[in-house]
Structure 1
Amino acid sequence: MERHYILFDTPERDLLYPFTHTRPVAACRVGILTIQEKWEHWLGTGVSHYTVPHLQEKFPLRRGEDTTVNVLISGHILPDAELVAAIMALRPEEELYKDNHLVAKVAQGKEVHLLPAASRKSYTGPVTGIFRPWDIFLQNDRAIREDFVMLTKGRTSAPLPEGIQVSNPEQVFLEPGAQVYSSILNAATGPIYIGRNALVMEGSMVRGPLAMGEGAVLKMGAKVYGATTLGPYCIGGGEIKNSVFFGYSNKSHDGYVGDAVIGEWCNLGGNTTCSNVKNNAGVVKVWMESKQSAEPAGQKCGVMMGDYSRCAINTMMNTGTVVGVSCNIFGAGFPPVFLPSFTWGHQVGTAAYRLPEALRDAAAWMGFKGRQLEDADRRILEAVFRETNTQRP
C-alpha cells in the first residue's frame, strides 16, 4: 500500500512564534537543513504538511485514497536512525509516544487526523526537537554535525583552493561551485560545510561548526564562531556566533549577533549589535507571544527576528529581544524587548506598519535576490497582520 509521510504541527507550534507565524515547525532550519529536509533524507521520499489553515496553501497536505497509509510525524522532532526505524515499524492504527507526547501515528484512508489510535506504544530512546525559539540555536551544533555526516557520506569535496589556511581539512566540505578566497577555516572545532555556489570572501575567519547554504556569502573580514548557519542566499559579515539565519537574510556589515535566530528575508543595517548576555550574568527571559509572559532561556540568548523584518543602521538590541514578522525598526535608543509583528519604528505610540506598504516593501526586498512575493506569501502576511492586530498601537 502507498505510504504518505506527513509532518504535523502540534498546539505547541505557537510557542515558536515569531517563526511559526509564517511556516510550519518542520520548515524551520536547524543545522544545515530544515527539519522537513532532514526527514526527506532519512525517509528517501518527499513529505507534506498538516498545519494551520493560513499556511496550508503554501505548505500543502498530500491526500491519498482509501487504501493510502498516512504516517504522521511530529514536525518538532529531529530524526535519527533509531527513531526512524521505530516509526517505520508502526502499523495502521498504531501511534508512538515519548513522555506522553505524540511522536508519530499511522492511519489509513483519505482523511488525515490526529484522533487517538487503537494501539499506543512508548518510545524509550532519546528524542531531540525544537519547542522554544532558542532551541534552534541550542541544537545547532549537534544538528550541523549530524547533517554534515549525512550529506557528505560517500562523497568527495570539491578541491580546497590554494591560498587558504585550513585546520582539519577532512572536516571541510565544498559543494560544486563553492569559492573560498584567502581565508582561515578552522574545522578542528567542528565541520565546515560550504554549499553550492556559496562564497567566502577574503580575510574571513571561521571556527566550525559552520553551515553555508546554496549561494550564501561571507563578506570580507567576517569573524564567525560556531555553531552558525547561514541558510540559502544569506549574507554574513562582521561578527557572528552560534546563530541561525533561515535563508535570504542579510547581516552584511560590522556589528555583532550571537545566540540568535533570524528568519527569512530579514536585513540588519550596518553596525547592528545584539546583546546575548546580561551584564549581571543572569538568566535571560524571553517574551512568549502566545502566552503573554516571559520564560527563562538560559544565560545566553540574543535576538529572535521573524521573517521580512529589518532594522536600521546602528540598531542596538537588548538580550532576548523578540522581533515579530515584517517589522521596520528605526529610532534612537534600545527597542523594547518585544516588537509585535508589523511594528513601524519603535517609539511609544508610533503607527503600525500599514499592510499595503509592508507587502510592497517585502516584494522589493525579495527582488534584490531575484525572487517574487507570491500570492500565497501575501495571504500568509495578511493573515498574520489580522491575527496580531490587537498587539499593535
Structure 2
Amino acid sequence: MDSILLFDDPAIRGSLLPFAFTRPVADFRVGILKISEKWEKITGKSISYLTQDYLQKKFPRAKGKAMAVNAAWLPDAESWGLIENLKEDQALFFGKILLASYIGETEKNLDAVKEKKTIQLEKSPSLLLKTWNIFQFNGEEIRKDFALITKGRKSEPITDPYTKVYSAENIFIEKGATIRAAILNAENGPIYIGKNTEIQEGSIIRGPFALCDHSTINMGAKLRGDTTVGPHCKVGGEVSNSVIFGYSNKGHEGFLGNSVIGEWCNLGADTNTSNLKNNYAPVKLWDYTKGGFANTGLQFCGLMMGDHSKCGINTMFNTGTVIGVGANIFGDGFPRNFIASFAWGGASGFSTFQFSKFEETAKAVMGRRGLELTAEELEILQTIFELSKNYRIWEKSS
C-alpha cells in the first residue's frame, strides 16, 4: 500500500458546509494540523483525495490502488494499526459509517464495500460529524498534534526577559518565532508556536493553543484555551475556543468565541460574536442538509464563517450564526442567523455580491499575501456561486 485516499463521506459532508464548499473534509484544520497532515504523519504514507468533482482538480487523487479512509476520522496513534492489516475483501465500519476499505484505481466511489466482509470497530472513533465539532474537539486535537509534532525534538528558547512562562515544558517554539513581553500559561494544556510567527507585547495566551506558521498575535490580545490560529493570520482582541483555518484576519478588539472561521476572511474592528443565549437555552444552527435550523445541544456556539467572507466594523453576530462563502456583511444591528454565500448587506437586508466584484476583492486580498487567485480556485468559487443560488431568497423575490 503506497498511499492513503481520504474520501468525503456523502452522509457527512453536507453537515460540514459551508467549510466543505471550498475544500475536501481532509483539508479541514482541527488542532494544529489539517486532517490530511495528521494521517500523513501517523502513517508515513502519501495522501490524496476523493471529493466532489468540482474540487478534485485542486485536490487530486493519486493513481493506483489505495486504502480509502473516511476523511471525517480524526486519527490517533491506534488508528493506523486498525486499518493497515485490512484485507482487500474487508471493510471497517463503526455502526453504519464506513471508516476504511481498499479501493481500486478505476473505482469512483465505495459502493463495492457492500460486497465485502464487514468488520465493526468497537471503540468509538473521533469523527467530525458537525461543524461545531471543529471547535469542540480542538483542545484534544491540539494535545494530540503537539505530541506528534514535538516528539524527540527540542524547542527554541524564549530569550525575551519580559515574557512570563508557566509550565515551560508544555511550550514548543519553532525557529523564527518572535515573542515580546507576553504571558504564556501552559498549565492546562500545551502551547505551540509555529515558524516565523510573532507574539507582540502584552499578549496573554492560555493553552491548549496553537499559532501556526507566519501568523501574528497583535498587542494586548487575550487568547483563551482550545484555540487555533492557522497560518498567515493576524489576530487581536479576545478569542476563546475557536479555530481560524488560515489566511484570515481578526486584527482588532472584539470577542470571538466557540467559532470557526475559514480562509481569506476579515473581521472588522470591534466585531463581536455572541456564543451564549440570554436564556441559556441550547443553540440552534443552520443545517444545510435540512434547509433549516437544527438544535446543536450546545450552550456555547458562536459564528461559522465560510471562506472569503468579510464583515465591517462594529458588526454584531447573534449566537449560532452561519455565513456562507464570499459574503460581505456590514451596517447597524444584528444580521440574520443564516447568511447565504455571496450575500451583500446586513440587518437591513441583502442583495447579491456580484461575482465580478467579488473576484476583484478576492484577487486584491490574496495579492496582499503575495498569492494569486488561480484559474482552478476561480472555477471552484464560480461553481459555489451557482450551487448557492437557492439560498439567496431575495433573488427569487425580486
Q: Partner of 2:143 in structure 1?
A: 145
**Residue 350 (structure 1) shift:** 3.2
Please list the CA deviations of residues 336-388 of structure 1 after superposition, one character each: whole Å capped at 9, or x if unmatched.
00000000012455320001111111111111111111111101100000001
Following the alignment from structure 1 to structure 2, what is the Cα–Cα distance between the partners of residues 109 and 206? 47
Classify the secondary structure of the residue corresponding to 1:376.
Answer: helix
**Residue 83 (structure 1) shift:** 2.0
Please list the CA deviations of residues 20-75 of structure 1 after superposition, one character each: whole Å capped at 9, or x if unmatched.
000011111100001111011111122110011111111111122xxxx3100000
Following the alignment from structure 2 to structure 1, what is the Cα–Cα distance between the partners of residues 307 and 74? 22
Following the alignment from structure 1 to structure 2, what is the Cα–Cα distance between the partners of residues 131 and 91? 27
Q: Partner of 1:73 in structure 2?
A: 69
**Residue 217 (structure 1) shift:** 0.6
Matching of residue 113 in structure 1 with residue 85 in structure 2: no
Matching of residue 274 in structure 1 with residue 273 in structure 2: yes
Classify the secondary structure of the residue corresponding to 2:223.
Answer: strand
Following the alignment from structure 1 to structure 2, what is the Cα–Cα distance between the partners of residues 205 and 17? 32
Listed as ranges, the matches of 1:242-257 within 5 Å are 242-257=241-256
Please list the CA deviations of residues 64-121 of structure 1 after superposition, one character each: whole Å capped at 9, or x if unmatched.
2xxxx31000000011122210110101121100112100001344434302242111
Following the alignment from structure 2 to structure 1, what is the Cα–Cα distance between the partners of residues 103 and 381? 33
Letter in 1 for 2:289: S
Structure 1 pair 348–387 and aligned structure 2 pair: CA distance change class (3 A): farther
Following the alignment from structure 2 to structure 1, what is the Cα–Cα distance between the partners of residues 289 and 96? 22
Please list the CA deviations of residues 154-202 of structure 1 after superposition, one character each: whole Å capped at 9, or x if unmatched.
0000011232100000001000101110000000011000000011000
Contact 2:282 2:295 in 1 (8 A): yes
Following the alignment from structure 1 to structure 2, what is the Cα–Cα distance between the partners of residues 190 and 109? 43
Q: Partner of 1:384 in structure 2?
A: 384
Classify the secondary structure of the residue corresponding to 1:390.
Answer: helix
Letter in 1 for 2:70: S
Letter in 2 for 1:311: C
Following the alignment from structure 1 to structure 2, what is the Cα–Cα distance between the partners of residues 337 and 57? 33
Aligned-residue identity in percent: 44
Classify the secondary structure of the residue corresponding to 2:78.
Answer: helix
Matching of residue 18 in structure 1 with residue 10 in structure 2: no
Following the alignment from structure 1 to structure 2, what is the Cα–Cα distance between the partners of residues 375 and 271? 34
Q: Partner of 1:351 in structure 2?
A: 351
Q: Partner of 1:60 in structure 2?
A: 60
Please list the CA deviations of residues 260-292 of structure 1 after superposition, one character each: whole Å capped at 9, or x if unmatched.
000000000000000000011110100112311
Q: Partner of 1:102 in structure 2?
A: 98
Which of these residues, 124, 127, 149, is aligned with residue 125 of structure 2? 127
Q: Partner of 1:264 in structure 2?
A: 263
Contact 2:334 2:347 in 1 (8 A): no
Q: Partner of 2:154 in structure 1?
A: 156
Following the alignment from structure 2 to structure 1, what is the Cα–Cα distance between the partners of residues 340 and 89? 42
Q: Partner of 2:81 in structure 1?
A: 85
Classify the secondary structure of the residue corresponding to 1:150.
Answer: helix
Q: Partner of 1:319 in structure 2?
A: 319
Following the alignment from structure 1 to structure 2, what is the Cα–Cα distance between the partners of residues 350 and 146? 42
Letter in 1 for 2:170: Q
Contact 2:3 2:45 in 1 (8 A): no
Letter in 2 for 1:122: Q
Classify the secondary structure of the residue corresponding to 1:211.
Answer: strand
Q: Partner of 2:294 in structure 1?
A: 295
Listed as ranges, the matches of 1:325-364 within 5 Å are 325-347=325-347, 349-364=349-364
Mark the runs of 5 or more structure 1 residues left unpaired by the alignment: none
Contact 2:185 2:205 in 1 (8 A): yes
Contact 1:202 1:220 in 2 (8 A): yes
Contact 2:76 2:144 in 1 (8 A): no
Quote the RMSD (CA, aligned, Å).
Answer: 1.1
Contact 1:82 1:125 in 2 (8 A): no
- Taking structure 2 as the reference length, the TM-score comes to 0.95
Contact 2:5 2:50 in 1 (8 A): yes
Letter in 2 for 1:56: Q
Contact 2:164 2:183 in 1 (8 A): yes
Contact 2:163 2:183 in 1 (8 A): yes
Following the alignment from structure 1 to structure 2, what is the Cα–Cα distance between the partners of residues 322 and 107? 35
Mark the runs of 5 or more structure 2 residues left unpaired by the alignment: none
- Taking structure 1 as the reference length, the TM-score comes to 0.97
Following the alignment from structure 1 to structure 2, what is the Cα–Cα distance between the partners of residues 13 and 350? 27
Letter in 1 for 2:165: V
Listed as ranges, the matches of 1:17-56 within 5 Å are 17-56=17-56
Letter in 2 for 1:319: T
Q: Partner of 1:5 in structure 2?
A: 4
Matching of residue 174 in structure 1 with residue 173 in structure 2: yes
Following the alignment from structure 2 to structure 1, what is the Cα–Cα distance between the partners of residues 350 and 267? 21
Contact 1:326 1:342 in 2 (8 A): yes
Following the alignment from structure 1 to structure 2, what is the Cα–Cα distance between the partners of residues 9 and 350? 32
Classify the secondary structure of the residue corresponding to 1:295.
Answer: strand
